[in-house]
Structure 1
Amino acid sequence: MIDTEFDGIASCKSWQAARMAELSGPDSWLGVVGLFWLEPGQNRVGAGEDCAIRLPGGPAYLGDVQLTADGLLWQPRQGASQPLVSDRDGPPSVISFENWSFFAVDRDGRIAIRVRDRAWAQARPFAGLTYFDADPAWMIEATWEVLPAPILMAVPNVSGELKEVAVTHRAVFSVAGEPVALLPMSVSAEAAFFVFRDRTSGRETYGAGRFLKAAPAVDGRIRLDFNRAFNPPCAFTPFATCPLPPPENWLPFAVRAGELKPVSK
């Protein structure tokens, strides 16, 4: 059985500190400064106006990213070429130059290069995060219900595209006597991942909804700790491709737990 004892304020503070460290670091989402969708063939990289992948600084021409049927290749202006691995199956290859770095992202077969300024905090230090007070009432033990048959859920993203997600389970619980269910975006051996919105969205919390990760279910039960609900990457940069909450995950009440709107927004 899941241990339902509230983890306490100290545990929440530790989780919040880890979030702060992640978002304050050089590889934070706050340092993402560009997203460029690739065309087949050569895609010029550099600070020049003729570059398909524009760097905010550095040389006018740094090299080319080549997209072919065989994959991705980085060809620097000087030096040997090397294959690029996207983030489709794990961590991507990262190309670094001075304070800049870039890497390939795969979104259902569409390939883009995401550019990061690793020195972003020198110009605009992170203002930090704010939270609702930790509340044991929002650490909910839900039933992890197997669906009679898998369903295909249409999940939109911030770019206006739809992705079909196969869903085999749902987390069922009640709030103030009102039954509700959340459908996961993904389930792995490490976590179940949810995207939801509620009556605080766009007011106290980020308008496009929030993310929630839960440890794997045990004996048909799953713990949803909304005290650890967090803002998606698109709350911090316009160059993210975040999933939005599907209508099935629009909660009809306010979840006053977890992260509030980013301070800088």
Structure 2
Amino acid sequence: MKPFIVFLVLLISLTNCAQKKQPLLGETDFQKELNAEYKDATTSPLTDKDRKQFEGLDFFKFDSTYIVTATLERTPNTAFFNMKTTTDRVSKERIYGVLSFEIKGKPYKLNIYQGQDLMTKAGFEDYLFLPFLDETNGLESYGGGRYIDARIPNGDTMEIDFNKAYNPYCAYNEKYSCPLVPRENYLKTRIEAGVKAFKKN
């Protein structure tokens, strides 16, 4: 094969590879990391069909308005209860505390939860679970509400970044069992931040 033909074949091959390995979409590190996780077959909650066509999740535009500093009122020794899920399974949770904060000048409160099982799992001993509902549910965002991951703070304040709100795995795949957001964690406002509803193929 003539050198020019060899060069042309290599160039076409490299171009095709570059087109197949397009960078994942995302405005922030959180968005890029979540998109990478959902594209990877070993970590993705997506069905095989949806993952093969996956290019990136749909997010609200990043908005610093939805990064708030909340006061944490701890509720020590609260009993664990059976948080309902989308299946017959229950999740053993307790209210770790109550978060008080403001969005656009209006006050809100959310319960933040601690899971019994995760308390004994290495790396998750200080993990807290913040599920919430808001007025975008069933419209721009997933109807069942969204989650935010958190860690036990040293002091009595916590930063809540609603831009990092993500959907339960059930929003993508019915094989998962996901905790249902308690009604008391409903915010009577539109949280236009975080992951939007997923449009299945």
Q: TM-score, normalised by structure 1?
A: 0.56
**Corresponding residue number in structure 2 for 1:22:** 37
Q: Which of 120, 131, 146 pairs up with 1:210?
A: 146
Partner of 1:51: none
Which of 184, 188, 191 aligns to 1:248? It is: 184
Task: Please show how residues 106-117 of structure 1 align to structure 2 within 5 Å.
Answer: none
Name structure 2 gaps, 5 residues minimum.
1-25, 116-123
1:201 is aligned with what amino acid? N
Q: Residue 232 of structure 1: CA displacement?
A: 1.1
Q: Distance in 1 between matches of 2:144 and 2:189?
A: 16
1:171 CA drift (Å) = 1.4
* 1:175 alignment counterpart: 103
Residue type of the alignment partner of 2:174 = P
Q: Over the residues paired in the alignment, what is the CA RMSD in angstroms?
A: 2.5
Among all aligned residue pairs of Structure 1 and Structure 2, give the percentage whose two residues are the same amino acid. Answer: 28
Q: Quick one: structure 1 residues 139 and 12, their matched pair in 2 at CA, closer, same or farther if it must change by over 3 Å?
A: farther
Report deviation, 1:240. 0.4
- SS of the counterpart of 1:183? strand
CA contact (8 A) 2:141 2:196 kept: yes
Structure 1: gaps (5+ residues)? 1-10, 32-119
Q: 1:190 to 1:259 in 2, by over 3 A?
A: same
Take 1:200 and 1:176, find their aligned partners in 2: how far apart are those partners?
16
Aligned mates of 1:181, 1:18 — CA distance in 2: 29
Deviation at 1:25, TM superposition (A): 0.7
How far off is 1:237 after superposition? 0.3
Normalising by the residue count of structure 2, what TM-score does the alignment of the two structures yield? 0.73
Match of 1:130 in 2: 58
- Bigger strand fraction: 1
Q: Which structure's relative contact order is higher, taking Cα pairs within 8 Å and 6+ residues apart?
A: 2
Residue type matched to 2:38 in 1? L
CA contact (8 A) 1:12 1:227 kept: no
Q: Residue type matched to 1:25 in 2?
A: D
Shift of 1:143: 0.7
Letter in 2 for 1:20: N
Q: What is the CA distance between 1:189 and its match in structure 2? A: 4.2
Q: How many residues align?
A: 167
Deviations 1:128-157 (A, max 9, x none): 211111111111110111227625555221
